[in-house]
Chains A and B, each alone.
Chain A
């Protein structure tokens, strides 16, 4: 196939050529960046929590009366006992938050009490000796809390945990050589906290972009916390007993003490629902980008079909002449296919620049990652195939123009 005559013909259709190339370039930029955003969001949604998600639910329990710290602590113990009686419930722990809750409590971490800049930041979970077993997190080193280590504290009372169980990412950040067990750190405390256990994964409560530099870094302290307005009960059930236990648990709590508030809509959440809510934005974003990609590709394809059809219509006479002079069906077909390929190649060449330009802008404005080359290559392949596919039908029609057209007036 000679490219020379195609280029000569394109020079006579500058506007249409430029428009198709431009459209392909812009489409490439948007599709590549959208696919990358989709991938990043989906990856976030798949992040493991480290807990036994299928068998966990959380009760947000608020007190209907104002209690003293001591009264609150007693009520919590009564509630825990009540929940343990609910059929299907295997274990339960009180806590100030849970993984993927959103927002929540975190403390700055330092290696010495008077250190100026913090070493890192950890999501701060309070729990008792049942915390690890209830959540089903995997202890990879050290030990669990003992019952006599658990302190009781009011909300604004001084917290001086002497021991903590921390997540592996936090252990690695504090002690990169893997010898964190038994060592110390400070979590805005005046006394050191000893690391007695390390769990594999325990996701943070907050999963916003603010937490990104501290991904997966969390700590559990053996504190039974009496918060004035209430708190969370994390409940683990036997396999297949989640739904029934979720229905029975609030009833049992209300039967034991009516002066409490468990929101009928948001008060009892399965962990699947917790996860769904935590990543609602990400799912929505992925969906929107997906829809835009699909519609965009469809419109670009339609545009190519439309413009090529016009060109074919315009050149019927020339095609007829070529046919009369001995060009085969295949020659005509490949002429239009090659023409489209040339335009598409020019389009993707500009498109690659636009893609990285847009990506760079998104990186600076929205802390999106740098686009991997595979996305651009994938995008190029998609658009070239799309162009060839779109041009095929009009090109086929062109190849069927009979040589007799040469004798007809335009």
Chain B
């Protein structure tokens, strides 16, 4: 029966090629617009670290007070004093501090010029907390944090550039005139968005080249190359005074595995803030936050508004295409009222008519999906014109997108066909036979 209906459907589609083409095009364009914008949206709005996103938290402390904070919200990073206090408190087994650095590296051939490299100064737990995969070696450990070792971890691409991809663990590398011992080389690992670095950065820019030991970087007075935010009158003069200032620039992350751990840590942050208030450092009541990864990405507005608006507009566009399709299907089905009358008179039930027309619509949906897929693939090469390169490069066609394209096209078309098919099934056989 299904085969017969499909055959009937196909024949009917061929009978009005213009109307069929119109419907297929409407579905195709609608699906393609939605899929292209969705492929960008899912890349920027996805969970960058699904395995742990609910266990990783950003401790936020209001070190600016109601006078200077951001509409009641604590700043998005810590100043040096609070960051170090949180590290020393050891209230959670895993905590990382991060800041951005820019250094120079000299490739090995003699007459080359230095190349600019970017990376992060961080602490030992960074690698374990974020499940950073290693190609060679591993991260450093907490003891090396304490001994302020000159350790560095390279990323796979940087290791490729500097050492031709060989196992460089144990070798030394000179960055901005200082020697570091390579303890590990990470596999390609670039969560998108780069959740641990979205305060003041888009989260989609070039991946880092290396990770250096934070205490060592501080010893070398390696300046922060990322965002730095201060309030009030700036009075510091020199690096040491800068560290004691209210400028926030260190990004803290903690790993808390259970709800009670989270509650305990929140209490600790409040206790710490009260202590600061009592000590006279803070002239205000504790004001702390502890967002997890997804909450943090939301607070930092990581998804570009353009991506959201274009997805919404594309979906509205698809809805209009569907309304259009309902109208065309209605025209198409009812034009065959006579034929339906004959089939009904010959014993076909309403149910069968209904099924037949839904199958015909599904065929339109399939063709629309195919066109939509072609347009989506073609459109992907044009994504670079619509979004900035760093975001456009994230959009890609994969099996799930192909599957989604067809599923959406067929389901939407069949849904659009419910009413026209129902109207077709309502055709009175006697009436049609009489008028013929």
**Which of B103, B324, B419 is A300 in contact with, Cβ under 8 Å?**
B324
In chain B, positions 365-420 with a C-beta closer than 8 Å to chain A are 385-389, 419
In the complex where A30-B313, A158-B237, A287-B386 touch, is A314 in contact with B335 (Cβ < 8 A)? yes
A42: min CB distance to chain B, Å: 15
Name which of A169-177, A216-224, A301-309, A379-387 contacts chain B. Answer: A301-309
In the complex where A66-B178, A281-B388, A299-B29 touch, is A306 in contact with B113 (Cβ < 8 A)? no
> Is there a chain A Cβ closer than 8 Å to B328's Cβ?
yes
Interface contact A190-B116, CB-CB below 8 Å: no
In the complex where A26-B316, A258-B113, A310-B331 touch, is A295 in contact with B436 (Cβ < 8 A)? no
In the complex where A300-B320, A302-B26 touch, is A62 in contact with B102 (Cβ < 8 A)? yes
A: contact size bracket = 35 or more
A155: which B residues are within 8 A, CB to CB?
223
> Is there a chain A Cβ closer than 8 Å to B67's Cβ?
yes
In chain A, positions 1-31 with a C-beta closer than 8 Å to chain B are 15-16, 19-20, 22-23, 26-27, 29-30
B: contact size bracket = 35 or more
In chain B, positions 1-34 with a C-beta closer than 8 Å to chain A are 18-19, 22, 25-26, 29, 33
> Is there a chain A Cβ closer than 8 Å to B53's Cβ?
no
In the complex where A26-B320, A254-B113, A300-B324 touch, is A156 in contact with B223 (Cβ < 8 A)? yes
Interface contact B232-A366, CB-CB below 8 Å: no
A14 to B357, CA, bound (A): 21
Could you give, for residues 208-248 of chain B, a 1 whenever the CB lies within 8 Å of some chain A CB and a 0 otherwise? 00000000000000110100001111111111011000000
Question: Which residue of B is nearest A229, CB measured?
Answer: B102
In chain A, positions 250-305 with a C-beta closer than 8 Å to chain B are 254, 258-261, 263, 280-281, 284-285, 287-289, 292, 295-296, 299-300, 302-303
A18: min CB distance to chain B, Å: 9
A398 to B113, CA, bound (A): 78
Interface contact B304-A64, CB-CB below 8 Å: no
Question: Which residue of B is nearest A296, CB measured?
Answer: B317
**Which of B29, B317, B324 is A30 in contact with, Cβ under 8 Å?**
B317
Interface contact A289-B331, CB-CB below 8 Å: no
**Which of A156, A186, A287, A358 is B239 in contact with, Cβ under 8 Å?**
A156
A313: which B residues are within 8 A, CB to CB?
335
Question: Which residue of A is nearest B310, CB measured?
Answer: A288
In the complex where A15-B419, A66-B176, A229-B225 touch, is A261 in contact with B104 (Cβ < 8 A)? yes
Interface contact A64-B114, CB-CB below 8 Å: yes
Interface contact A157-B237, CB-CB below 8 Å: yes
B116: which A residues are within 8 A, CB to CB?
62, 261, 263
> Is there a chain A Cβ closer than 8 Å to B177's Cβ?
yes
B104: which A residues are within 8 A, CB to CB?
62-65, 259, 261
In the complex where A20-B327, A306-B331, A366-B305 touch, is A189 in contact with B387 (Cβ < 8 A)? no
> Is there a chain A Cβ closer than 8 Å to B330's Cβ?
yes
> Is there a chain A Cβ closer than 8 Å to B306's Cβ?
yes
> Is there a chain B Cβ closer than 8 Å to A159's Cβ?
yes
> Is there a chain A Cβ closer than 8 Å to B326's Cβ?
yes
> Is there a chain B Cβ closer than 8 Å to A404's Cβ?
no
A157 to B102, CA, bound (A): 20
A279: min CB distance to chain B, Å: 10
Could you give, for residues 331-353 of chain B, a 1 whenever the CB lies within 8 Å of some chain A CB and a 0 otherwise? 11011000000000000000000
> Is there a chain B Cβ closer than 8 Å to A321's Cβ?
no
Interface contact A158-B176, CB-CB below 8 Å: no
B106: which A residues are within 8 A, CB to CB?
64
A108: which B residues are within 8 A, CB to CB?
231
A29 to B315, CA, bound (A): 13
A15 to B314, CA, bound (A): 25
> Is there a chain B Cβ closer than 8 Å to A151's Cβ?
no
Interface contact B324-A287, CB-CB below 8 Å: no
B321: which A residues are within 8 A, CB to CB?
299
> Is there a chain A Cβ closer than 8 Å to B278's Cβ?
no
In chain A, positions 139-170 with a C-beta closer than 8 Å to chain B are 154-159
B326: which A residues are within 8 A, CB to CB?
19
In the complex where A19-B330, A66-B176, A281-B304 touch, is A299 in contact with B324 (Cβ < 8 A)? yes
Could you give, for residues 63-92 of chain A, a 1 whenever the CB lies within 8 Å of some chain B CB and a 0 otherwise? 111100000000000000000000000000
Question: Which residue of B is nearest A60, CB measured?
Answer: B116
**Chain A to chain B contacts (Cβ below 8 Å), 14 pairs:** A27-B320, A62-B102, A62-B104, A156-B242, A190-B235, A258-B113, A261-B114, A285-B310, A299-B321, A302-B22, A303-B26, A303-B327, A309-B331, A366-B309
Binding site for A on B (CB under 8 A): 18-19, 22, 25-26, 29, 33, 37, 67, 102-104, 106, 113-116, 176-178, 200, 222-223, 225, 230-239, 241-242, 304-306, 308-310, 313-314, 316-317, 319-321, 323-324, 326-328, 330-332, 334-335, 385-389, 419, 423, 435-436
